[in-house]
A and B are shown apart, each in its own frame.
Chain A
């Protein structure tokens, strides 16, 4: 069963704008991760945030985690056409396995 559920399912923005994607989950977690998948490729790890962290940055990426609401958000600032991809959140539920959401399709228009 899917743990993480991303929202929205699809997002289309103009280059230079910020993109915000959300993930909600159901049970307690060790950590939450975000991955990117370009068309026809495997997933690539973007960022990991632990359950005792509230915010983390990596370049143009900002991830927040609210364990009381069981939700996370991924913000991509100053988006570029190359950010066009599918984005997945994945949760680690204390059992050594990651559970992935269904993904968000981000389109960045030049």
Chain B
């Protein structure tokens, strides 16, 4: 978890409300990722970023948006939270992409949508 923080660590919210999760890194790594982890599904990629203002969709991007205005911060926004978005969200970073890429994970954010 060194060098990567996520906030908040726990959040309970109501259906229909907007939610923003923050990932902050001090490693100056170029690549940042948002995953969700659900029982029976493992980790699934939501969005990722390959530089400031450069983002792309992952496997399960519907209902989520991201922004990266600074190297160190990657925000995940649920515009209108739904109960199906109840999950544990992990941020990860990597210096490289492709061959030799190792990802380093944050501690996670547990989100409950009622």
Contacts and interface: CB of A to CB of B under 8 A. Distances in A.
A42 B35 CA distance: 11
Interface stretch (A60-68, A73-81, A89-97): A89-97
Contact of B101 (A1, A92, A99): A92
A33 B99 contact: no
Given A41-B1, A92-B98, A97-B45, A102 B105 contact: no
Contacts of A2: 42
Interface residues of A, number: 25
A98 B41 CA distance: 15
A78 B33 CA distance: 34
24 contacts: A1-B59, A31-B99, A31-B100, A31-B101, A41-B1, A42-B4, A42-B105, A42-B108, A43-B90, A43-B92, A45-B102, A45-B104, A48-B100, A50-B99, A90-B103, A96-B31, A97-B33, A97-B45, A97-B58, A97-B97, A98-B45, A99-B45, A101-B42, A102-B40
Contacts of A48: 100, 102
B42 A88 contact: yes
Interface of A: 1-2, 30-31, 33, 40-45, 48, 50, 88, 90, 92, 94, 96-103
A31 B4 CA distance: 24
Given A30-B98, A42-B1, A98 B42 contact: no
